[in-house]
Amino acid sequence: ADGLCQRLFAPCKPKAFQQPWAQDEWEIPRDTLKMVKKLGAGQFGEVWMGYYKNTQKVAIKTLKEGTMEPAAFLEEANLMKQLQHERLVRLHAVVTKEPILIVTEFMVNGSLLDFLKSDAGKKLKVNKLIDMAAQIAEGMAYIEVKNYIHRDLRAANILVSETLHCKIADFGLARIIESEYTAQEGAKFPIKWTAPEAINFGTFSIKSDVWSFGILLTEIVTFGRIPYPGMTNPEVIRNLERLYRMPRPEGCPAELYEVMMTCWKEKPEERPTFEFLQNILNDFFIATEGQYEMQP
């Protein structure tokens, strides 16, 4: 097959060309955006597919009025704008008057959580799943180097492109949605993804993100199962106080479970860096001597 692993039978579909975003278009007027299709709704607002100036396809996140202070939001958005990496969802522009709108690049396959539960997602082999985990670790390693924190790392906040590349979304938003992080009531606080020191003392750091990444690994390997199945949030908190850890999920390679367990070390400083996690996951199949090689 001319040196290829596999003969190519059809040409690749050409990728639709996305025009680069003009740098100065940052705070934009609301009427330059057209909402086309609602993609989802959460407790703080909705996500829409839409168009900017009728030409550029974008994702538009709407925030309910009163969710955050516009001034605090703009300050954070200016920071978020500076975080640019191929593994992070690109923040294009904002509408800073309430209701606040956040305009980002559009990702065809939606959230990783929804994708893992889809027919296409369920067909993914373990090596592709670990490749996706490595991509997320790469994006988080960039956030780590920039001394930033995500604070809400989970499969619902990872987006998947047409070519199955993962990008991290919603970094930094969690901090300014104060209600989510001061009130620990109900679904507002993602207890099952949150490190013990963040639950107990509100201490968020890149190391609490590492804990969340370990939980995210369980979501990936179980195709989107909710962590700690069958447990309520109060039960999870009580069990964590007794140093309980989630058992190895079915179908999870033992070596990957070891990675999860290092993410869940009780002392934050004993958890690995994202750079280390990225390297481990990138080399996963070399290190485990090909026992998970794709079957012909």
DSSP 3-state assignment of 30?
helix
Say whether 152 is catalytic. yes
Selecting among 2, 31, 152, 283, the annotated active-site residue is 152
Give mean pLDDT, residues 178-190: 49
Q: Between 179 and 156, where is the model more confident?
A: 156
Q: Between 25 and 136, where is the model more confident?
A: 136
CA 115 to chain CA centroid, nearest Å:
12
Q: Domain boundary residue among 58, 88, 105?
A: 105
**Residue 5 domain flag:** no
By mean pLDDT, which of 85-99, 175-189, 227-241, 265-279 is the weakest?
Answer: 175-189
By mean pLDDT, which of 14-28, 98-112, 115-129, 208-222 is the weakest?
Answer: 14-28
Q: Identify whether residues 53 and 139 lie together within a single domain.
A: no
Q: Identify whether residues 269 and 247 lie together within a single domain.
A: yes
pLDDT of residue 178 exceeding 60? no
**Residue 126 domain flag:** yes
Give the tens place of pLDDT for each residue, 44-71: 789 999 999 999 999 998 888 887 778 8
At 168, is the pLDDT very low, low, confident or very high (cuts 50, 70, 90)?
A: very high
**Residue 290 domain flag:** no
Q: Identify whether residues 237 and 97 lie together within a single domain.
A: no
pLDDT of residue 128 exceeding 80? yes
Q: Do residues 158 and 150 touch, judged by C-beta distance below 8 A?
A: no
Q: Domain boundary residue among 85, 105, 125?
A: 105
pLDDT of residue 1 exceeding 60? no
At 6, is the pLDDT very low, low, confident or very high (cuts 50, 70, 90)?
A: low
Q: Identify whether residues 124 and 203 lie together within a single domain.
A: yes
pLDDT of residue 73 exceeding 90? no
Tell me: is residue 61 an annotated ligand-binding position: yes
User: DSSP of 61-83, one letter per residue?
Assistant: EEE-TTSS-HHHHHHHHHHHHH-
Per-residue confidence (pLDDT) for residue 244, from 0 to 100: 98
pLDDT of residue 23 exceeding 90? no
Give the tens place of pLDDT for each residue, 261-290: 999 999 999 999 999 999 999 999 887 655
pLDDT of residue 87 exceeding 70? yes
Q: Identify whether residues 277 and 167 lie together within a single domain.
A: yes
**Residue 45 domain flag:** yes
Q: Identify whether residues 58 and 173 lie together within a single domain.
A: no
Tell me: is residue 282 an annotated ligand-binding position: no
pLDDT of residue 30 exceeding 50? yes
pLDDT of residue 166 exceeding 90? yes
Give the tens place of pLDDT for each residue, 91-108: 999 998 888 999 999 999
Per-residue confidence (pLDDT) for residue 48, from 0 to 100: 95
* Structural domain of 47: 30-105
| CATH assignment at residue 265 | 1.10.510.10
Q: Identify whether residues 85 and 125 lie together within a single domain.
A: no
Average pLDDT over all residues of the chain: 87
**Residue 292 domain flag:** no
Q: Identify whether residues 64 and 123 lie together within a single domain.
A: no
Q: Domain boundary residue among 64, 83, 105?
A: 105
pLDDT of residue 296 exceeding 50? no
Q: Identify whether residues 39 and 97 lie together within a single domain.
A: yes
Q: Identify whether residues 122 and 100 lie together within a single domain.
A: no
Count how many domains the chain has. Answer: 2
Cis peptide bond N-terminal to 249, omega within 30: no
Q: What is the pTM of this model?
A: 0.85
| CATH assignment at residue 68 | 3.30.200.20
**Which tokens belong to 97?**
């008057």
Distance CA 30, CA 52 (A): 10
Per-residue confidence (pLDDT) for residue 63, from 0 to 100: 84
DSSP bridge partners of 47: 40, 61
pLDDT of residue 16 exceeding 90? no
At 165, is the pLDDT very low, low, confident or very high (cuts 50, 70, 90)?
A: very high
Q: Identify whether residues 207 and 266 lie together within a single domain.
A: yes
Tell me: is residue 157 an annotated ligand-binding position: yes
DSSP bridge partners of 57: 51
Q: Identify whether residues 98 and 116 lie together within a single domain.
A: no
- The CA–CA distances, whole Å, from 29 to 48, 94, 197, 279 equal 17, 9, 41, 43
